[in-house]
Amino acid sequence: MKVRFDAMSYWRLLRRNPEYAKLWVAQVISLTGDWFNTIVLLGLVNEYSGGSGIALSFFWTLRAIPPLLIAPIAGVILDRFNRRNVLVASNLLRALIVPLFLLANSPDRLWIIYVVTVAQFTLSAFFEPGQTAIIPSLMQPDDIVEGNTLFSITWSVMLAAGAMVGGIFAYYFGATAALIADAVTFAIAGALILWVDDNLPHVLTLHSRVRDEAPAEDTSFMEGLRYLRRTPQMLAAIFVKFGLSLTNVDILLTVFATQIFVIGARGENSQAILWSALGFGAWLGPVLTNLLNDGSVKQMRRLIGYGFLLALLTWPLLAWSPGLGIVAFAVFIRAMGGSINWTYSNVIIQKTAPDAKLGRMFSLDWFAFHLAVIAASLAHGTLIDNLGVERVNWIIWGTMLVALLPVLIWYWIVPRLEAMEAQDAHIQVAPIAGD
């Protein structure tokens, strides 16, 4: 069965799964505000810090640290309590926190941006894995691949549109208006998710069967780690985002937009162009590979290999780039590979883990992703400050060598997983002696 990707198939998907559709609409609204926020804050950090690479990397790092620290708590809460209510609380609290960025109105108040960023992304550490973990509960099992693809495409389209509109909006109306708009979108998205009915009949039947046939679920974090250790398929799926993000491009993208090829007072417009290129690439990646996707874990692992190779092409393109156009094309290629890997690793986790463990698995996935982002951000920021922007090509070629490692690891892992699964399948169908 090939996974379809035309617009009408997604319309039918939303009509078949109305509770999923509500979550999707909430995502559209929230993502619009997210990019207003990001464009404004990157411009302010760059301006208030005098273009410091360390300051920019510190900002990205502070967005990534909360998922590292919160993952053990977030995963347990998402598996122990109602996931919909956790999502609602996260959005409404972020609607209250985001306006605090308005207090950072001068260079000596740069620290406020950092503190509020930590608070915002502490709440995001509950929302992001929770949103992915709840998707299978809101739709029919046969729709899960298509549903995750739509979420990925939506993120990509809203990144492209939101970054462009956010840059223009901030340029004409200012940072204050953009940040207020972000807070409003969080509040609206939270209200929409509150309207989601997560007690669908097929989900209640599944939960009842699991409860009747198995002992009480151990929802501790340590049990999640034990499950991860004894399930190599899950370890491989969690490696995907980690491996790709070891060479995270965010710091370099920001430097290109705000210090090398600057358009706009704080580089708002050049940022908008690059983030939009990232969004269009992220949209196109899974749309194309879904032509080859039969919905099986085996095929999705192979498509992830193509994603790693596409991301690897980013680095020679960036090193060669004579202008913003080539940088945008490199980011576009990078996003195609990244979106392929993000989408299919999510589906593999959903297909591999039982529902009662999805919160912890996605929290650990989020933990691994942000651990890699922190390492890449700190490395790039430090290298830029020590070598200077004029030697950014040296940094890019060094990053390419690092990016090659997860590609080699993935192509080493996949055949071994396939051999192990083939052996398990042979054992399961082998005839019993005496038959």
418 in Cβ contact with 91 (< 8 Å): no
- Residue 10: name the closest of 301, 312, 290, 331 by CA: 290
When divided into structural domains, the chain yields a total of 1
Amino acid identity for residue 363 in this structure: S
Report DSSP state, residue 174: -
214 within domain boundaries: no
Q: Under DSSP, is residue 390 helix (H, G, I), strand (E, B) or coil?
A: helix
Its sign, for the CA torsion 173, 52, 370, 124, is negative
pLDDT value of position 253: 81
28 within domain boundaries: yes
pLDDT value of position 302: 94
Q: Which residue has the tokens 């319309």?
A: 11
202 within domain boundaries: no
Q: Is 208 exposed, middle or buried (0-12, 13-18, 19+ CB in 10 A)?
A: exposed
For every residue of 10-64, DSSP letters joined together read HHHHHHH-HHHHHHHHHHHHHHHHHHHHHHHHHHHHHHHTTS-HHHHHHHHHHHH
432 within domain boundaries: no
> Within 10 Å of residue 319's Cβ, how many Cβ atoms?
16
CA gap 48, 380 in Å, rounded: 19
228 within domain boundaries: yes
Structure-block tokens of residue 225: 């780690």
What's the pLDDT tens digit per position in 279-321? 788 888 888 898 888 888 999 999 999 999 999 999 999 888 8
pLDDT tens series, the chain, 435 aa: 445 555 677 788 888 899 999 999 998 888 777 777 777 887 788 888 887 777 877 887 888 888 888 888 888 999 988 999 999 999 999 999 999 999 988 898 999 999 999 999 999 889 888 988 899 888 888 888 888 888 877 877 776 676 667 667 777 777 788 888 889 989 999 999 999 887 755 444 444 344 344 456 677 888 888 999 989 999 999 999 999 999 988 888 878 887 777 676 667 678 778 877 887 888 888 888 988 888 889 999 999 999 999 999 999 998 888 788 888 899 899 999 999 999 999 999 998 888 889 999 998 998 899 899 888 888 888 888 888 777 888 899 999 999 999 999 999 999 999 998 887 766 654 444 444
CATH number (domain holding residue 378)? 1.20.1250.20
Supply the range of the domain harboring residue 398.
14-197+220-420
207 within domain boundaries: no
pLDDT value of position 200: 58
pLDDT value of position 213: 43
Structure-block tokens of residue 57: 């990397």
CA gap 9, 146 in Å, rounded: 9
18 within domain boundaries: yes
- Residue 95: name the closest of 20, 26, 46, 156 by CA: 26
208 within domain boundaries: no
Kindly report the pTM of this predicted structure. Answer: 0.77
